Amino acid sequence: MSPSSPDRVNAILACLRQETTHEAVAEMFGVSLDEVKQWETEFVAGGAAALNGSTGPSNHADAAHDQLTQMGALNAISQSLSGILTVDDLLNTTLETLRTVFGYIPMVCLVENDDLVIKGGYALDGKKINWYNWRLPTSTEHSILAWVAAHGKPLNLPDVSRDARYVYQEVVGHVASELATPIMFKGNVLGVLDVKSEKYQAFGQNDMSILETVASQLAVAIENASLFETVRHRVAQLELVQSVTAYAIKNFDMQGILKYTVEVTQAIMGYSGVAIGLLSEDRATLELTTIFQSPEKTIVSGAMKFPIDDATVIGSAAHSGQIIVANEVRRDVRFALNPLFETSQAELVVPMYSKDVLFGVINVESEQPGAFHDADVTSLTLLANQLTIALVGAGLFQQTQDQIREISRLLDEVQQTNARFYATMEATDEGIIVWDENWRVLFANSTASQLLGTPVAALVGCNRGDSETPPQLLRVSEAQPDERIELAGDERRICTSRNLRWHSDSASGYMTVITDITHQVALEEERQEMTSMLVHDLRGPLTSVVGGIELAQMGIAEGETQDKIFNFLGMAHRSGDLLLSMTNSLLDIATLEYENASLEHLPLQISAIFEDVIGIHSNTARSANIEISVTRDEDLPIIEGDNSMIRRALSNLLDNALKFTPDGGEVSISAMQDGDMIRFKVADSGPGVPEPFRQRIFEKYVQVPGRKGRRRGTGLGLAFVKLVAKAHHGRLWVEPRPGGGSIFVLTVGNSD
């Protein structure tokens, strides 16, 4: 029984996909092997329609079948491309498939930097063209291919003679119509797939669909091949370093290591030429050990010497100590032709260093321009480091064990890199969120967890685009660099965030750095309030100083009595003393904060201090009908300290008590023994200090909101007392007074 046309098409497609064999198809249909091969020949020569035995679909059923056949052919192409892991083979297979299966005159180009490189194609007469990687800039306006690459859009020209972008090429022939489509992967143009015809209006929507489908499949295959090449290069890199290391451990002959290294580097990495240059004894030249690609892989030791200067690429790398990548070496004026590398088109040179001293260079060459990339630089850098260690070890055999221990230490450091990274991230005061390229959280430190109020485990894995992502995390990741973000929580938290990019050899992403500026904002607010207070408090005394002097001047001019003039000057003098006192407080606080104060070391005169302090404030107490009571233990320990500082500290505490005690109230000051220290207490019958402020009021500029005493303070007095306590190895705190009010407690010991 003769098989139907659809059955024959599907069978041939299965053969092309290597899903079955010609023998199996022959046995299935009961025909000869030659007949099956004839079917395949007809399919390749004329496409699916020829195999079906028709020149065109006669009805809708035939048209649908042809479309299915075409889809099967495209699927066969996809299967074929998916099994190829080198870019050149992918391009050749694509060209041959478009030519043999679909009958097109194809051409393929790839984008390299800002150029479009023609990798292959056919002439209109069916002959294959070797373009020798011919380049044209993507910015040119006189190329259909360049336009498609630059714009990332397909272009169908039914009559190329009417388009200014068409340029006649004798090697191709007289083109009438042309269809080109970009090879794109994830929005990036990888190249251009192009077909030509000597007929006008040769390409329709169906051809456009076929070419776009093939271009899409080719793009995926190119990316897969590139990934495979990256992995292969990494494996080769590790194999190369491991091979050289293993050889060096067993062999201590320097020339043997050099010869083995050039051999294995050429064999594993596939460079057309490898040369290792070591510094001569006079440190003026490099002596090369060279291998070049030939049937014998001949090794020549000490074949050439290069001066260490900028006259050659190798000498320039040694002279500057920098890696040099010359991907079009024939255009480099420093290029010196090595007789063993006559066909070189690209050169890469990496210096070798031992303890920051130039040891030599590794030079590799290729017959292809643009051959060297970052992966080659990384490989040669690793090899240079490892080879230097091996050569130094061979030259100084007695230190071999030390070298091995050093290598082991370096390997341990590499293994500990992750641990150090996590430790560093945890040690910082800033919140750190590390994201991948798709904004998925890879890492979050504990500071970020605390700021956002979310456990680390709940943050890791969150995606910025997910609806379940914590709102706080979204806010910090989307905020502007200078934007202040107030985070929800039991305590007030204000932060800023900034997003940074990070890159590694195999991955990239983002890092969000969260800075807690709560204290800074609070300080700014307090400072602003303090500025207002200082302006307010300074304006009065300054006005009195200026006014007193002006009144005295006027009095002198008008012949006023001496007593009246002295009264004006006295007013100015008292206001000046007040300003001086405020200034001294600020200076003393600054001095004590930085522990630069020079303190007295004399026995404290408690009775004299109490007498002075009460005398200073007696008028204020008397005017408000406030009684000041004084008590002290008789057997107080002898404490050596700064009497002046203690006097001012107690004066500040008493002034604070009087300021907030109502008329007719009570204030007391006492001194008692506290071990080998003295404990002072100043109690008042004022409104007391609320619990939330019992720690904060000892900070500079901080005052209890809504509390107004007899006069407005600067917020510096209690801060000064706290620093005096610290300078005398004591403490300062406040506690509520039974029946209302506050008790400020100051303990002091011997000063340093």
Task: Tell me the per-residue pLDDT of 469-480, one tens digit each, with 9 for 90 and over.
Answer: 898 899 888 989
| Structural domain that includes position 397 | 251-412
Looking at residue 60, its pLDDT comes to: 44
pLDDT by residue (tens digit) across 449-468?
988 888 999 999 999 888 88
If asked whether residues 526 and 495 sit together in one domain, one would say no
Highest-confidence segment of 45-54, 503-512, 539-548, 586-595: 503-512
Residue after which a domain boundary falls, among 453, 485, 516: 516
How many Å apart are CA 500 and CA 510, to the nearest integer?
Answer: 6
Q: Please give the average per-residue pLDDT across 7-33, as a whole number.
A: 77
* 440: DSSP letter: B
3 state SS for 661-719: CCCCCEEEEEEEEECCEEEEEEEECCCCCCHHHCCHHHCCCCCCCCCCCCCCCCCCHHH
Q: Count how many domains the chain has.
A: 6
Q: Which of 412, 440, 469 is the last residue of a domain?
A: 412
CATH code of the domain covering residue 129 = 3.30.450.40
Looking at the fold, whether 298 and 342 belong to one and the same domain comes out as yes
> Quick one: how far is CA 546 from the chain centroid?
59
Q: What is the pLDDT, as a whole number, of residue 50?
A: 40
* Size of the chain in residues: 752
728: phi then psi, degrees, rounded to nearest 5: -105, 20
Q: Answer yes or no: is 654 within a domain.
A: yes
Residues 154 and 273 grouped into a single domain: no
* pLDDT score, position 716: 75
Most confident of 214-218, 256-260, 532-536: 214-218
Which pLDDT score is estimated for 727? Answer: 87
Q: Residue 467's pLDDT is what? A: 84
- The verdict on 299 and 314 lying in the same domain is yes
Task: Pull the structure tokens for residue 3.
Answer: 């098989």
Residue 631: is its pLDDT beyond 90?
yes
In a domain, 90, yes or no: no
Distance CA 220, CA 230 (A): 15
Check: CB of residue 155 under 8 Å from CB of residue 180: yes
- What pLDDT, on the 0 to 100 scale, is given for residue 209? 87
What's the rounded mean pLDDT across residues 110-133? Answer: 89
CATH of the domain at 458: 3.30.450.20
Distance CA 727, CA 642 (A): 10
When mean pLDDT is compared across 232-246, 314-328, 535-549, the lowest value belongs to: 535-549
Give yes or no for residue 519 having a pLDDT over 80: yes
Q: Are residues 700 and 731 in the same domain?
A: yes
- Tens digit of pLDDT for each residue in 148-167? 999 999 999 999 999 999 99
Most confident stretch, 246-255, 477-486, 554-563, 565-574: 477-486
For the whole model, what pTM was predicted? 0.40
Question: Based on the domain organization, do 403 and 296 belong to the same domain?
Answer: yes
Please indicate, yes or no, if residue 97 is contained in any of the structural domains: no
The percent helix, strand, coil of the chain (3-state, each to 5) is 50, 20, 30
Share of the chain above pLDDT 70, in %: 83
Q: Are residues 258 and 406 in the same domain?
A: yes
Q: How far is CA 15 from the centre of its chain?
A: 51
- Asked whether residue 211 is assigned to any structural domain, the reply reads yes
**Mean pLDDT, residues 57-71:** 48
Mean pLDDT within 564-576: 76
Q: Tell me: do 451 and 511 sit in the same domain.
A: yes
Q: Is the pLDDT of residue 51 over 50?
A: no
Amino acid 61: pLDDT: 44
- Alpha-carbon gap, residue 290 to 276, rounded angstroms: 6
Report, as an integer, the average pLDDT of 557-567: 80
Looking at residues 693-711, what average pLDDT do you find?
73
**Do residue 277 and residue 405 come from a single domain?**
yes
Closest-CA residue to 5 (of 44, 35, 28, 39): 39
| Residue 706 resides in a domain | yes
User: What's the average model confidence in pLDDT over 40-59?
Assistant: 48
Residue 236 lies in a domain: no
Token look-up 């050429």 returns 266
Residue 534 belongs to a domain with what CATH number?
Answer: 1.10.287.130
Instruction: Work out the mean pLDDT of the chain and round it to a whole number.
Output: 82
Q: Look at strands 346-354 and 602-603 and give their pairing.
A: unpaired
pLDDT at 580 over 80: no
Final residue before a domain boundary, out of 561, 593, 625:
593
Tell me: pLDDT of 190 over 70: yes
pLDDT of residue 9: 65
Do 507 and 588 share a domain, yes or no? no
User: Residue 89: inside a domain, yes or no?
Assistant: no
* 558 shares its domain with 674: no
Looking at the domain assignment, is residue 235 inside a domain? no
Same domain, 209 and 269: no
CATH of the domain at 658: 3.30.565.10
State the average pLDDT over residues 496-508. 89
